[in-house]
Structure 1
């Protein structure tokens, strides 16, 4: 519980509120959530400016399996849900390209 005191001296208790604050000063590709997933995962990324974005998923030998995002997007935090129900267990790299920025991370699918 959190105690909130108003300007007039009255107070009440409220549930604890949690906020997630991200810097949008740089491009960033986040680790998928959950890191080991069945069958879908959330992939988040930050754009420091309006950009042409391509987010893709690959197999371990580099072949592209899916394009999750392929569009121009505004500055800020974005996320996309990746459903891998049609793929076997394994390690899958994912790649973000936004303007001149490129980053790649790996996710683990366990079935």
Structure 2
């Protein structure tokens, strides 16, 4: 499954199922083939995504500090960061919110 987010305020955004499912989990939604972010829901969704990014980065800094205290170096992350994955959706939600347009997917 692919997530194809659409809004009249921004270009389409496509995410693979694992990435889209993670975004849905961060904003407190179950993965779904169809859905909508209403304008009123967007500030909370943006805040949740930004909090997820902050949490991931904080955990990485703590792990690096712990490794440094033990004289080790952490290997670089294997995956693309949440910041990189979530940024397009956050930007879409911000633009849609400013334009007072909903964001839909699967329709």
TM-score by length of 2: 0.29
Bigger radius of gyration: 1
RCO higher in structure (CA 8 A, sep ≥6): 2
Structure with higher strand content: 1
> Which structure shows the higher helix fraction?
2
